[in-house]
Each structure stands twice: as structure tokens, then as C-alpha cells.
Structure 1
Amino acid sequence: MITASAPEAAPTDEDQTREVSIDDLIVGRPLTYPVNDTRGRLLLAAGQELTRLAKRRLKSLGVHRVCAHAADSMIQNLNQIELRSASSLASHDEISAKLDHVVEQGLFQIQNSGPAVRDRVRQHGATSFDRELQKDVSELRSETQAELSNLVKEALQGRNDTGGAVAQMAAQFLAQSTEDTDCVLSVVLEAAKKPDLADHALKMAVLAMAIGIEMGLDEDNSRRLCVTGLVCDWGMYKLPDELLNADRILSVGDHLQIQKHSQYTAEILDRTTGLPSQTAVIAYQVHERPNGRGYPKQRTSERINICSRILNVADTYTALTSPRAWRPALTPYAAMETILRMARTRDVDPDVTRSLLKVMSLFPIGSLVALNDGSVAQVIRRNGNQYDRPIIEVVQTADGQPVPLENRVAIDLMMSPLEVVQAIATPGSEEETWCEPYVLINRTLR
């Protein structure tokens, strides 16, 4: 057996250099010191990156042990690192197993214990929004996003009592939604100047709650739905910034790394107090798809909580209408068209999609449309089952003159000869009006 050593001329540190097996050298790192054979011939130069091929070459020459600096030795290097205990690592599987047990036993089903919230939601017909309520919702939106960002950071640092504060947020938006759901959605879903994870969570949560209310959920379940939307992506904060802000189409490896956030979220929620029951299992299933193509367990519709299916649709709509570093946002209309195509392949739940249409209309609340008289209008309210005839306000006349806010009048397109002829991108945005379905289904929406 040949034992290689560092040459006498090389700078050495007796406390840091020792004889180790060549298998203990760390592949992929540059060597701190050169490696020579017993005759003094250079095998690997200092600064050279150690590759698997180089290791095999040395072994073929009979070199099995070398004198290496601690920085080049796997064992010596890792001895300085504090590692997780086996019990800590096991907790990942234990939490998943606990949530999987709930699903397998059918313990995740949602049942109402009170009257449906939709029975007390105020209907406003062809009326404009109350300006004071708009202002209140806007202020609550800003406060909630800031507080939500802080709560996530505190939860990641070990604070376990954040659930109560999140539940209070949900209760406030529920109260405002019963007053005027359309107004709340118009404000909350408005494009953010700097969209972030908190902005996404709030939009998804409030939209999901509106869908759930439309589907007949009671107050407890509507609030549970909103709370879960606010926390279901907390594990995303544990992913590297360079992945979250990547300005490229994500690779398969990137996808796999992002999918880990479901497990990270489960761990955070497992120790968080003050959350409604079933929050963790609902959050765990948000990214499952009815056709079994989702994650983390590729479950099909009958094994996915209805609240998770609702949140999945709300998450998809929110993601599509929000810009990412690697793509612009879609217009609300294009996003709705995309979701309808996805419903046909059961990449999203068809029943939930139908309720999304009732909540937002085919031309979603807040979006701009061109009318058949040449004017431009903004959609302000849904119109029941009349998906393509929402309630609108004209914002620009046919001759291009803007209509002042105080002069705008709500128009029910069911009662008017006016018709929508085109969806329009938001001025100043880079919204796309259409996207290939495969781009959205086979690549991440995040």
C-alpha cells in the first residue's frame, strides 16, 4: 500500500494535518494542501477541486491513505458541526404519518355544525362599493400582510402561540365578507406593488373563504378555511431565496425542493397552538390534485379534504394572476380560462371551479373589459350564474375620456344592451392574455 504525503516545502500545521483514508476526502472542494506519493511526485495540487474521477485514479495507483488538512477531511470537518439528533430527524416522518393516518381513516371530512354563512351575506345588486368599506378593507389588508410576515418569522424562531392571532385575522375578513364579498375581493385581489408570500397567502385565503361560503360552509368552516390559507405556505419561508426568486423556469430538482415546503409547514403547524382543528391536515393537502398528480402523496379527489380542494383552486388563481421572476402575470380572464381547462383534466376540482365562477364571474372582479360600444369598464360585482354578464362600471368612454370615480354608475349587463367583447390587461402591467396549458400544469405555479 502506498501512503502519500504532503511535500516538505508545503506549509503544514501539525494540529490540522493528519493521515486519513482517501475516502474521507470531500469531493467537490478544492484541496487545502497538495497530495504527493511517497516519491514526492505531485498527485493533486493545492487548490485543485477533488473529483470522484481523481479519487478513482489515486486508488488505481495504489494510494489509499493520504496526509490531509482537516478542512479536506470529511470526518474532521463534520466533527465541528452540530447535527440534528436521530429523534429530531424522525419527527419529519412521525408528523407525516400522523397526518396520513387522519386521511386514511377518513377523519378529515368537513361537516357544518351551524347555518351556512351565505344565508346572511348581504346582496347588493347593481350598486357601487361603499367607499368607507373599501377604505377599511384596504387598511386591514395592509395591516394583515405586515403582521402575517412578522408572525411567520416568529414561528420559525420557535414561537408556538401564533395561531390565535391568525384566527383573529380570519374573523375580521369573514365579518367584512358578509357585509360585501365583492368589495372585499376587489380590494384584496388587487395587484400588489411588491408581491410576496404574505400577499399571496392573504389573497388565496380570502378568495378560498369566498368560494367556501358560496359552497355552503358554515362560520366555523369558513373561518377554518381562511386560517389555513394564511398558514399553509409557511414552510416556503424555509426555502432558499435564490429558489423562491429564481428568474428562470424551474428544473425538476427545483420542483422537488419546493415540494418539501408541505413537510416544513406541517412541522410548524404541529407545534403551533390556537389554530382551528384540522388546519394541519388541510394545509398538508393543499397541493394535491384531484387526478393524483399533486403532492406530497399524489392522492385523488376522494381522499382530499374539500377545504384543501378549495384552497388549491384559490392558490392556482392567485398564482396565475401574480407575476413571477420568470413570467408575467396572466390577466384575470386568462387565468379563469386556464383554470377551466385544468378542471377538464381534473388538475383542479370541477365543482370548486364552478363555485369560483359564481364568486368571480368569467370576467373576474377587478378586471378591465372592453364593451361593444367602444367604452372600457371595470368589473365590480358577480352576477349569479350569468358568468359572462357581470356588473360593471364604465371607467373610460368610447371617445377615450376617463370617467371620474364619483361619476361612475354600476351597470347590470343582464339589463343592458352592452356586452363584453374583450378582456383587457391592467394598464402599466405586463399581464399576458393567454398561456399554453402545459406551461401551467407541468411547471410550478409558485
Structure 2
Amino acid sequence: MRLVPIQSVKEGSILAKTIYDSEGRVLLKEGTELKDITISKIEYLNIYTIYINDKYSDAVIEDVIKPEIRQKAIKKVRDVFYNLEDYNKNQNNYQGQNLYKKSEKDFQSVQYVARELIEEILSRKNVMIGLVDLKSFDDYTYQHSVNVAVIALIIGMKMNFHKYELFDLCIGALLHDIGKVFLPNEILNKPGELTEEERKIVQEHPKNGYDYLKGSYDVSVPARIVALQHHERIGGQGYPEGREGERISILAKIVAVADVYDAMTSTRVYRKALSPNEALEYIMANGGTKFDYKVVQAFSKVVIPYPQGTMIRLSNGDIAVVTKVYSQMPLRPDVKIVYSEIGTEINSIMELAKENSIVINGLEYEVPEDN
């Protein structure tokens, strides 16, 4: 099983993981043989990457959480955003109705989903952050919110947070971008670089989200603070208040790392995704300056940039598939060579922990046809 950009998927590939629509309904079932017309339809739906099975990897990449729980979480987050957006656009139709009373059921649903996510992740021992979940352009915000919650929970578990702290962390992560509902869509989805004025408008979303959430008794103060502070940076480089160090909530510090990691490894309308390794290196390089050092330490111990089944290019030009990952050395896995100019190396196993002169240069998706 490999995660492959849709433009690199070949006709005849076998879909390795079911694709769902925004309502959680099955669009294409696992095991489907992909035809060119099907691949084009997937691309038309703005789904950038899919899992396939092929001759290069038969590894099974397990989900951190069950697909049905993920889909339920995405739907609940989307419901919160949609209902608030609808209220903002049609306030005249809601005269006399209290916004927070109207949102009460939405927030209670989010609480229920948060408990499910926590129980699911706590039930798994030594859970690690592998490849990010599939995201489509249309549902990016809601899928991103769930991914951030999952990543944040795994970091919080590594930092030995109590269950009630994990609950506040999860709620805050699921709702961290709620303030974006108040921003114009033409700015949020702008394909090009933002102007200075547009950037200032975007930077209002943490305060907008906090102001909205503080009117609800169903969202705790620590969770609300996450919405306000998830773009703050410990060196004072963040927004909206330019807070530093201990003046930033530890929950917000965790969500900041999870938010950046998932955003960097996601394809957006204005840029392609970075590899998990590039995102990890960026976060580690900024530990102690932008991101809390202890949070980065915990994160670096639970993230796997190249999970089993990932195809990679080595610094010597060989192409290989990851066969075994070591949590203490995530950048030095065992790999099986699937392409090499030295034909005798094909299918041989290389232990990168013992090969100091060879490093992973990045992800690879296609093997030369003459191989």
C-alpha cells in the first residue's frame, strides 16, 4: 500500500483505501481496479492523493483512528461551521433566536466526538503519527481540524496529559479554526499570494473564533484559549497578540505544532504539499524559537516521516520501499531496493541505520519503466 498523488496513479492500480464523500458516504470502495476515467473523476473531485496497492509494496498502512470515527468527526465539525456560516449570512431569518442556544447541540456533538477520538487513541498502544489522512480541497478545513485533533492528542498522550486535559485539548483542536467562518471565502481560497491587507484580515480569525466561543458554556476556557492562541509563537513572532513563552497556553502550543505539520503536508489551492520529513525538519529546527521545545521533543518521538510501505529516493539514486521503521531512528528505516542502476541490488534489504553515507532524499512515486 502506497500513498500516491493522483497524477501519478496508473490505470490498473488497485485502490487500497475506500474514498468517502463529504457526508461520509462511500464514493469508491477499497479493492476497485482504477481505470483512466475513474482516476480523472477522482481528480475532478479535488482529491489529490489516494492509497494504492501495487507490486512495490504490500504493506498495510493502518489508520490511527477507524475511518467511520474520522468521518463522523469531520461531519460534526462541518456541521458547526456550516450552521454558524448560515447564521452569519441569514441573520434576519434568525431574529429573536439566541446564536449560542442554536449552537448548543452542535457543541455537544463535538464533545461526543472528542470523547470517541480520545477513547479510540487511548485504546491503541504506542500510537504513532504516520502519513496524513487524505484531504480534498472542498472539505479541507474540516478534515484538517480532525487531523490536528488526532495529532495533538497523540502529542498530549506522549506528554502524559490527564484524560480531562486531553478532552480540552481535543475540543480546542477541533474548533481551532472556527474563526475562519467570519472571513471572506475569496481570501481563504485565494490561489495566489495574499496582500498585506488580506493577511491582516486572515490574522483576525483566532480572535474572531475566541470571541464567538466565549459566549458558549459548552466549550471550556482552556479550549477557547486554543482558538485564540494557536498562531502565537514562543518567541513573540505570532498573532493576534504576539505573546511569548509561558504567556501561551500549553494546549495552544501543542495545537500550533499539530496545525503546522498537517498544513505543511497537505496540498492546498496555492501550493503543493511538502514531504512529512520536510515538515518535521522545519518544526524541529524551530523548536525553542517558534515552537515550545518540550512539545517538539514529544512530537519528534511520535511522528514517522516515512511509514512502512512508503516509496523513497535515496541519496545514491536508488529507489526503495520502507519495510521496517524504528521509533528511535525514524529517518533511518530498513528499505527494500526496487530500482537501482546496479541491477544486482534489486530486492535487496538495506539497513539505513548501518549506512551512514546514504540518506533519504525524499518521497518517490514512480519507478523508471526499464526497471
Aligned residue number for residue 263 of structure 1? 207
Displacement of 1:137 = 1.4
Residue 397 of structure 1 pairs with residue 325 of structure 2: no
Corresponding residue SS for 2:70: helix
Residue 353 of structure 1 pairs with residue 289 of structure 2: no
Residue 311 of structure 1 pairs with residue 255 of structure 2: yes
Aligned mates of 1:186, 1:130 — CA distance in 2: 12
Counterpart among 341, 351, 354 of residue 285 in structure 2: 341
Unaligned runs of 5+ in 2: 1-57, 88-98, 342-348, 367-371
Displacement of 1:192 = 1.6
Work out whether residues 234 and 244 of structure 2, in 8 Å CA contact, stay in contact via their aligned partners in 1.
yes
Aligned mates of 2:277, 2:221 — CA distance in 1: 35
Residue 137 of structure 1 pairs with residue 59 of structure 2: no
The CA deviation string for residues 107-162 of structure 1, in whole angstroms up to 9 with x for no partner, is xxxxxxxxxxxxxxxxxxxxx9988x749612222222122111222244332312
What TM-score results when the alignment is normalised by the length of structure 1?
Answer: 0.56
Residue 328 of structure 1 pairs with residue 272 of structure 2: yes
Corresponding residue SS for 1:377: strand
Corresponding residue SS for 1:340: helix
Displacement of 1:258 = 0.5
Residue 147 of structure 1 pairs with residue 76 of structure 2: yes
Corresponding residue SS for 1:397: strand
Displacement of 1:306 = 0.7
Flag the 1:366–1:322 CA change in 2: closer, same or farther, 3 A: farther
Within-5 A mapping of 1:365-376: 368-370=311-313, 374=318, 376=320
Unaligned runs of 5+ in 1: 1-127, 401-409, 429-446
Work out whether residues 333 and 423 of structure 1, in 8 Å CA contact, stay in contact via their aligned partners in 2.
no
Aligned residue number for residue 183 of structure 2? 239
Displacement of 1:218 = 1.2
Aligned residue number for residue 4 of structure 2? none
Within-5 A mapping of 1:73-112: none
Aligned mates of 1:319, 1:146 — CA distance in 2: 20
Instruction: Among all aligned residue pairs of Structure 1 and Structure 2, give the percentage whose two residues are the same amino acid.
Output: 24
Aligned residue number for residue 147 of structure 2? 203
Aligned mates of 2:248, 2:330 — CA distance in 1: 28
- Give the letter for the 1:303 counterpart: R
- Give the letter for the 1:424 counterpart: G
Work out whether residues 317 and 335 of structure 1, in 8 Å CA contact, stay in contact via their aligned partners in 2.
yes
Corresponding residue SS for 1:295: coil
Work out whether residues 306 and 322 of structure 2, in 8 Å CA contact, stay in contact via their aligned partners in 1.
no
- Give the letter for the 1:223 counterpart: F
The CA deviation string for residues 251-295 of structure 1, in whole angstroms up to 9 with x for no partner, is 221111011111211122122342344211232111111011111
Work out whether residues 155 and 268 of structure 1, in 8 Å CA contact, stay in contact via their aligned partners in 2.
no
Q: How many residues align?
A: 286
The CA deviation string for residues 347-379 of structure 1, in whole angstroms up to 9 with x for no partner, is 222221121110104647885434689452248
Moved more, 144-153 or 268-277: 268-277
Flag the 1:229–1:368 CA change in 2: closer, same or farther, 3 A: farther
Work out whether residues 186 and 366 of structure 1, in 8 Å CA contact, stay in contact via their aligned partners in 2.
no
Corresponding residue SS for 2:321: strand
Flag the 1:277–1:379 CA change in 2: closer, same or farther, 3 A: farther
Aligned mates of 2:180, 2:214 — CA distance in 1: 16
- Give the letter for the 2:291 counterpart: V
Aligned residue number for residue 192 of structure 2? 248
Corresponding residue SS for 1:191: coil
Aligned mates of 1:380, 1:387 — CA distance in 2: 10
Work out whether residues 114 and 171 of structure 2, in 8 Å CA contact, stay in contact via their aligned partners in 1.
yes
- Give the letter for the 2:263 counterpart: A
Flag the 1:261–1:373 CA change in 2: closer, same or farther, 3 A: closer
Within-5 A mapping of 1:32-71: none
Flag the 1:192–1:201 CA change in 2: closer, same or farther, 3 A: same
Residue 286 of structure 1 pairs with residue 233 of structure 2: no
Aligned residue number for residue 44 of structure 1? none
Counterpart among 299, 314, 322 of residue 243 in structure 2: 299
The CA deviation string for residues 67-97 of structure 1, in whole angstroms up to 9 with x for no partner, is xxxxxxxxxxxxxxxxxxxxxxxxxxxxxxx
Work out whether residues 343 and 349 of structure 1, in 8 Å CA contact, stay in contact via their aligned partners in 2.
yes
Displacement of 1:318 = 1.3
Displacement of 1:388 = 2.6
Aligned mates of 2:324, 2:176 — CA distance in 1: 29
Aligned mates of 1:355, 1:191 — CA distance in 2: 24
Moved more, 372-381 or 146-155: 372-381
Aligned mates of 1:266, 1:349 — CA distance in 2: 22
- Give the letter for the 1:248 counterpart: G
